[in-house]
Chains A and B, each alone.
Chain A
């Protein structure tokens, strides 16, 4: 027993060091796959969605081999900086704050954000209108930054690990509203779970939301960035992006 235990220990140490490796040959893309329909895990365990298909198209156009991995949203930037992944495609908006840590390609889509609440509720975007409301956001998103910037101490900001959890708690009645990408909202309204909900505010316009979604990359990786730039401009120019938008959302978000 002892012998086999020690053998086991040795084997596992070898296995651990096998996980250590030199420079990557393929491009590892990190995404937080709990953001349907942009990126989510289907029942077979595969990462799918609009942004995943668009990302694959961008990679193909950039002549890169991309592999996707599922990373919690607020771990994406640290993992990129620590070279655990090589790129981020996770509906991550290009913002000044994030630019301090990482680099972005130009945007490949942009959707405005808005409040979502039970049908028939209208949210007044003032301190009085929002006073005491419980508003859910996903941790580490621009939505969380927006609430902190304008309504800190006015609304009770409830932070969740994933968007799925925010949705669940809105339905459970623990939240008065949530702030979310409007496309995530409108797609969710089509599901059984979200059918009683609607956009409750005009589209929010604020620098805190950034300049659209781009591929997040480490600073100084000019070659990789040039390749991705080429890919992004190609899928936007040849209609691939629009086609995928129609496929996943039924509308062209590029209009």
Chain B
């Protein structure tokens, strides 16, 4: 390890890390909001309502994110009519936005499936009780089903966030200078494989650590009413649930 080289690259690596965080947060936020209606449709009992979202998640979860990014970045250029349009000049001509779109679409598929699972675990009795009280379908979702769903999916959602963070590194293959992209640029100038990639790995580790801590706090806050009165020395056994490997398959 040559710390002089790392010091030279450090400001750019930090800049890259900033871009990585942008590529994580914006797509995740948009996808989470859009997932709610999609997940509700996905868990509908009517085939024609269900089939659209089901096909969407099947395709986007069944293909590599790399293919999706390349399709959006290079693939769309095949349609010349599109290349003269507004969308192209303002959004698609920019690698940063292409990556954003790809990550949003990809996150949307995984989070939709996650929420579907959460919605389906809400006991039927609760839904029926809500309806018996005279709640509309909208009210039932807003006040009963969705809050419960959130609590159920949060551990798996945290894993999804970590997977999503790691997946942002793929932006580097379409010229975005995120953390991985910056490390790669320095590598191809100095041919030192360890320094830059390990420094970048360290920054990813820090980001994962901070993000998982924040999500743990949110999880704890949301579960306030469910917590048993804790006695000294007792440790909750729920930690095993929050495991990426046993959770749903993340984006890759």
Quick check: do A and B touch in the complex, using CB within 8 A?
A: yes
Q: Which residues of A contact B (CB under 8 A)?
A: 74, 77-78, 81, 101, 139-140, 144, 158-161, 165, 168-169, 171-174
| Cβ contact of A77, chosen from B77, B83, B175, B191, cutoff 8 A | B191
Q: Which residues of B contact A (CB under 8 A)?
A: 74, 77, 83, 88, 93-95, 173, 175, 184-185, 187-188, 191, 193
| Closest A residue by C-beta to B184 | A139
Q: Which residues of B have CB within 8 Å of A165?
A: 74
Q: Which residues of B have CB within 8 Å of A81?
A: 191
Q: Are B93 and A78 interface neighbours, CB within 8 A? A: no
| Cβ contact of B193, chosen from A78, A160, A172, A173, cutoff 8 A | A78
Q: A139-B185, A172-B93 are in contact. List 7 more A-B contacts (CB 8 A).
A: A158-B175, A160-B175, A161-B173, A169-B74, A169-B77, A169-B175, A174-B95
Q: Are A159 and B185 interface neighbours, CB within 8 A? A: yes
Q: Are A172 and B74 interface neighbours, CB within 8 A? A: yes
Q: How far is the CB of A139 from chain B (nearest CB, A)?
A: 5
Q: Which residues of B have CB within 8 Å of A169?
A: 74, 77, 175
Q: How far is the CB of B97 from chain A (nearest CB, A)?
A: 11
Instruction: Give bound CA distance, A159 to B185, whole Å.
Output: 8
Q: How far is the CB of B96 from chain A (nearest CB, A)?
A: 11
| Closest A residue by C-beta to B93 | A174
Q: How far is the CB of A146 from chain B (nearest CB, A)?
A: 13
| Closest A residue by C-beta to B181 | A159
Q: Which residues of A have CB within 8 Å of B175?
A: 158-160, 169
Q: How far is the CB of A12 from chain B (nearest CB, A)?
A: 21
Can you show 6 pairs from A to B with CB atoms below 8 A apart?
A: A74-B191, A81-B191, A101-B191, A139-B188, A169-B77, A173-B88
Q: Which residues of B have CB within 8 Å of A139?
A: 184-185, 188
Q: Which of A77, A171, A174 has the most CB of B within 10 A?
A: A174
Q: Are A74 and B93 interface neighbours, CB within 8 A? A: no
- Contact A140:B77 (CB < 8 A) given known A78-B193, A159-B175, A174-B93: no
- Contact A171:B77 (CB < 8 A) given known A77-B191, A78-B191, A158-B175: yes
Q: Are A168 and B191 interface neighbours, CB within 8 A? A: no
Q: Are B188 and A74 interface neighbours, CB within 8 A? A: yes
Q: Which residues of A have CB within 8 Å of B93?
A: 172-174
| Closest B residue by C-beta to A172 | B77
Q: Which of A77, A165, A172 has the most CB of B within 10 A?
A: A172
Q: Which residues of A have CB within 8 Å of B95?
A: 158, 174
Q: Are B74 and A168 interface neighbours, CB within 8 A? A: yes
Q: Are B74 and A74 interface neighbours, CB within 8 A? A: no
Q: Are A172 and B83 interface neighbours, CB within 8 A? A: yes
Q: Which residues of A have CB within 8 Å of B187?
A: 74
Instruction: Give bound CA distance, A74 to B192, whole Å.
Output: 11
Q: How far is the CB of B176 from chain A (nearest CB, A)?
A: 10
Instruction: Give bound CA distance, A144 to B175, whole Å.
Output: 14
Instruction: Give bound CA distance, A8 to B188, whole Å.
Output: 37
Q: Which residues of B have CB within 8 Å of A161?
A: 173
Q: Are B185 and A173 interface neighbours, CB within 8 A? A: no
Q: How far is the CB of A155 from chain B (nearest CB, A)?
A: 14
